[in-house]
């Protein structure tokens, strides 16, 4: 009986060893699949673009002297939607009214995270070619700072290219005969950028903390020019197959 028990244990050991060897051999393949799919985007050529006006409802975003970010974001987004639709693109808006989106998601305890998750879900379910999240910047410590800044994450190479295209056009805007402050696009780790599966950027259209720029952001004419510039950058991104140069600082 002892001899039979020893043979049984050896078979178990051999079986476990075989399973471990197979798992070790398969691990590089699994890792390769995860890596190769996580940083690759296949453009569906759908003609769909998602526009995400930041904040809304209870979340007003940043504000100064009665000027609210959420209102500026929505107005620029609507103007951008009209421009792009006229050019034949299909537009999905995460919101078209003064509302927050936390009621669309119940996976998070934080109201803020529910709102962001709902936006990411809309983007991920859109079959879009790209998305843009529209915001207004603020720098209380440096109120002289102005201009637009485009944020992107490194998940897809297309994110950087899209950011460069839009940033370049925004840098070249001339307002009241004056050229805007020039910025480079900035790599960042914002929620909407990290948890979306299509290329996209956050466009901070101007600084509400800058008195001169705040007055401009309050005007519909300036918002229209911002929307036109963003649309131009989008079309350059979609038209260009090669990488664009980084805007000069």
Residues 21 and 115 in one domain: no
Angstrom distance (rounded) from CA 147 to CA 137: 9
Domain assignment present for 43: no
Tell me, yes or no, whether 83 lies in a domain.
Answer: yes
Residue 30: inside a domain: yes
Query: HSE on the CB side for 54, CA within 13 Å?
Result: 21
* Residues sharing a CB contact under 8 Å with residue 157, sequence separation 6 or more, in sequence order: 39
Is 203 among the domain residues? Answer: yes
Same domain, 196 and 177: yes
Decide if 2 is inside a domain. Answer: no
What's the rounded Cα separation, in Å, for the pair 68 and 74?
10
For the chain, state the CA radius of gyration. 24
Same domain? For 81 and 162 the reply is yes
Same domain, 56 and 22: no
Same domain, 29 and 63: no
Helix (H) or strand (E) holding 63: strand 63-64
Residue 197 structural domain: 48-245
Is 219 among the domain residues?
A: yes
Examine the domain organization and report whether 19 and 66 are in the same domain. no
CA 42 to chain centre: 17
Residues 131 and 20 in one domain: no
pLDDT tens for the chain, residues 1 to 249: 445 454 445 666 666 666 566 555 554 443 333 333 357 899 999 999 999 999 999 999 999 999 999 999 999 999 999 999 999 999 999 999 999 999 999 988 899 999 999 999 999 999 999 999 999 999 999 999 999 999 999 999 999 999 999 999 999 999 888 888 899 999 999 999 999 999 999 999 999 999 999 999 999 999 999 999 999 999 999 998 434 444 443
Q: Is the dihedral of CA 172, 178, 146, 84 positive or negative?
A: negative
- Number of compact structural domains in the chain: 2
For residues 32 and 148, membership in a common domain is answered with no
The distance of Cα 145 from the centroid of its chain, to the nearest Å, equals 23
Structure tokens, 209: 């903390």
């Amino acid at each position: 009986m002892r001899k039979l028990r020893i043979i049984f244990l050896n078979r178990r050991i051999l079986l476990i060893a075989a399973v471990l060897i197979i798992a070790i051999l398969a691990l590089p393949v699994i890792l390769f699949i995860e890596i190769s799919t996580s940083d690759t985007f296949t453009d569906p050529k759908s003609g769909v673009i998602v526009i995400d006006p930041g904040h809304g409802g209870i979340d007003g975003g940043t504000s100064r002297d009665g000027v609210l970010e959420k209102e500026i974001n929505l107005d620029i987004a609507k103007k951008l939607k009209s421009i792009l639709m006229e050019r034949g693109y299909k537009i999905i808006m995460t919101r078209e009214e003064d509302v927050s989106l936390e009621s669309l998601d119940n996976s998070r305890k934080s109201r803020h995270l529910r709102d962001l998750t709902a936006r990411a879900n809309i983007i991920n379910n859109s079959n879009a070619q790209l998305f843009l999240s529209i915001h207004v910047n603020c720098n209380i410590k440096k109120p002289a700072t102005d201009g637009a800044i485009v944020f992107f994450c490194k998940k897809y190479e297309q994110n950087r290219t899209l950011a460069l295209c839009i940033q370049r056009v925004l840098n070249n805007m001339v307002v009241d005969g004056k050229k805007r402050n020039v910025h480079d696009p900035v790599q960042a780790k914002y929620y909407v950028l990290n948890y979306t599966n299509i290329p996209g950027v956050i466009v901070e259209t101007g600084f509400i903390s800058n008195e001169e720029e705040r007055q401009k952001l309050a005007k519909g004419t300036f918002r229209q020019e911002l929307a036109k510039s963003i649309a131009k950058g989008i079309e350059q991104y979609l038209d260009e197959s090669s990488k664009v140069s980084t805007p000069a600082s």
